[in-house]
Amino acid sequence: MIRHAADQLADYRLHLVLIHGGGSYAHPFVTRSGVGGGLRDRSQLRSISETEFYLGQLTRIIYASLLLRNMNPVPLHPMSFATLDKGEVKKFLLDPIRKSLDAGLTPLLHGDLVFDESRGIGVLSGDRIASLIGSKMGAFRVLFGCDVDGVYSANPKNFPNATLIPEVNSENFRSVLSASRSPSTDATGSMGEKVKQAIWLAKNGCECYIFNLREKNALRMILDQTGSIGTRFVPWKKSRKSVKQSPQRA
Amino acid sequence: MIRHAADQLADYRLHLVLIHGGGSYAHPFVTRSGVGGGLRDRSQLRSISETEFYLGQLTRIIYASLLLRNMNPVPLHPMSFATLDKGEVKKFLLDPIRKSLDAGLTPLLHGDLVFDESRGIGVLSGDRIASLIGSKMGAFRVLFGCDVDGVYSANPKNFPNATLIPEVNSENFRSVLSASRSPSTDATGSMGEKVKQAIWLAKNGCECYIFNLREKNALRMILDQTGSIGTRFVPWKKSRKSVKQSPQRA
């Protein structure tokens, strides 16, 4: 899937911020050690060190796949530039992201463990990072790639008759948000979190997509605006004009 | 040498910030592409991406060697948390370093390419990072490990009769500083930079050592204060009392 996504990104010429999740390289360790809820005892320190090590390996795999396609990525690590307080973002140094885009580089970020003023440590999800950067930098679009086709009327794993919602707008967003809030074992909120962040961005004038990154050429179609696929979040406010295209959650 | 240094660090129980240089993983790319002097054309973007990739690999090797010795490191990357302006440090987010020490983790940093407001990009050397963190966090000691025995009266590669200076203090620091300023092909200033940073720290009350990291047990002897080796920089002002021990440049 990484190669497939990298193939579709390689030809894209506008500004792009890439953000990957922790996937199987981080979620199981975070969930098992409970560090997402804060630091309680010294045994968790080992989990933090190991999580960072495995997560770093996933970043390297993605990084290499971009280098091999002649892209020029730079890795930026949230633990190094962001802090939380009671789970809310407190500090977030945007300058390296902005400067790397200005230079013509492609910043590569990821969901991460981040130090928390009150709780010691916490999780800053890739979805939350995407919406933060999207709003702070006035992104044109934010794309949330995942492993299902988009947002459904109910959890399709439990309700086989659930239908895909092609468009979320100022009319239907409340019902979509409540339908997407199903219990999840994912360390960072799964679909409910994506929907929440996408609605928040759309309210602030930024177009979003939640779509299946496994789907052949779905990413390319959305990037090139040659087709609508997955669930599109229509901006409420007039969309901002910006050369900075789509922080991309892959 | 990494294993040797990690062996000596593994038993140390006080606060420790580890900083490694770029060595052969970064210096040749930085020197060849000239990115240390700023961003001039698009061909340098590839060098930035590759430098970050190779440097990341060196960090992983060191990281793994610490994990294997039951230490709990966390990697913090200067490109992500610092910026320059005309080569001078402009922003430097200290919170993750401070919070990781508070938690009982060992932050692992490195000399790095860092975005520069005016020049696009520049080098923030491990030596400069060590003195910045040492002073901002009130470190007790800063140790500069390198591949020579310490500071010499002249460059020992050119002057075989040069002698090792065991102690630098408020009396002899000017002559030592001028003797250490020999031309160097190192991307980040080599011995001259270390001496400059160590003198600046000593003036501000922080003890420093420049010593040979290849020397058997040298690092352990300095950490445990069981012997003086290399060149010791005696603090001019009364040394600060602090539980935060020695940002360590390895």
Domain boundaries, chain A: 2-249
- pLDDT tens, residue by residue, B204-236: 999 999 999 999 999 999 999 888 799 999 998
Q: Which residue of B29, B47, B52 is the best one to mutate when testing the A interface, meaning the one whose CB has the most A CBs within 10 A?
A: B52
Range B94-120 average pLDDT: 97
Chain A residues with CB under 8 Å of B103 CB are 39, 45, 48, 115, 120-121
- Enter the DSSP assignment of A120: E
With cut-offs at 50, 70 and 90, classify the pLDDT of residue B18: very high
Range A207-222 average pLDDT: 94
| B46/A72 touch (CB, cutoff 8 Å), yes or no | yes
Looking at residue A159, what is its pLDDT?
A: 82
Q: Note whether A123 and A187 are within 8 A (CB).
A: yes
Chain B residues with CB under 8 Å of A78 CB are 80
Chain B residues with CB under 8 Å of A103 CB are 39, 45, 48, 115, 120-121
Q: How far, rounded to the nearest angstrom, does the alpha carbon of residue A76 sit from its chain's CA centroid?
A: 14
CA distance A123 to chain B (A): 14
CA distance B80 to chain A (A): 5
Looking at CATH, the fold of the domain delimited by A2-249 is given as Carbamate kinase (3.40.1160)
Q: Which residue of A18, A33, A66, A77 is the best one to mutate when testing the B interface, meaning the one whose CB has the most B CBs within 10 A?
A: A77
Looking at residue A39, what is its pLDDT?
A: 95
Range B110-138 average pLDDT: 96
Looking at residue B120, what is its pLDDT?
A: 97
ipTM of the complex: 0.92
Looking at residue B165, what is its pLDDT?
A: 94
> What share of chain B in percent tops pLDDT 70?
91
| The CA-based dihedral angle spanning residues A87, A150, A52, A28, taken in that order and rounded to the nearest 10 degrees | 90
Answer whether residue A189 shows pLDDT above 80: no
Chain A residues with CB under 8 Å of B42 CB are 104
- In angstroms, the CA B185 to CA B201 distance is 25
Return all residues near A104 (Cβ < 8 A) that are at least 6 apart: A72, B42, B45
- pLDDT tens, residue by residue, A129-151: 999 999 999 999 999 999 889 99
Answer whether residue B134 shows pLDDT above 60: yes
Least confident span in A6-20, A149-163, B58-72, B176-190: B176-190
CA distance A120 to chain B (A): 7
| A53/B63 touch (CB, cutoff 8 Å), yes or no | yes
- pLDDT tens, residue by residue, A225-243: 888 799 999 998 654 554 4
CA distance B121 to chain A (A): 9
Range A89-94 average pLDDT: 98
Looking at residue A243, what is its pLDDT?
A: 45
Q: Which residue of A13, A68, A89, A115 is the best one to mutate when testing the B interface, meaning the one whose CB has the most B CBs within 10 A?
A: A115
| A75/B95 touch (CB, cutoff 8 Å), yes or no | no
Q: Which of B122, B119, B114 is nearest to B35 (CA)?
A: B122
Answer whether residue A13 shows pLDDT above 50: yes
- pLDDT tens, residue by residue, B21-50: 998 899 888 888 899 889 999 999 999 999
Chain B residues with CB under 8 Å of A117 CB are 99
Other Cβ atoms within 10 Å of B15 Cβ, number: 21
* Averaged pLDDT score across all residues of chain B: 90
Answer whether residue A188 shows pLDDT above 80: no
With cut-offs at 50, 70 and 90, classify the pLDDT of residue A92: very high
How far are the Cα atoms of A23, A60, A65, B71, B107 from residue A57, in angstroms, in the given order? 12, 5, 13, 19, 18
Chain B residues with CB under 8 Å of A50 CB are 67
Question: The tokens of A187 are what?
Answer: 């360390």
- Enter the DSSP assignment of A164: B
Looking at residue B198, what is its pLDDT?
A: 96
How far are the Cα atoms of A13, B58, B78, B124 from residue B47, in angstroms, in the given order? 19, 16, 17, 16
With cut-offs at 50, 70 and 90, classify the pLDDT of residue A246: low
Q: Which residues are bridge partners to A92 per DSSP?
A: A82
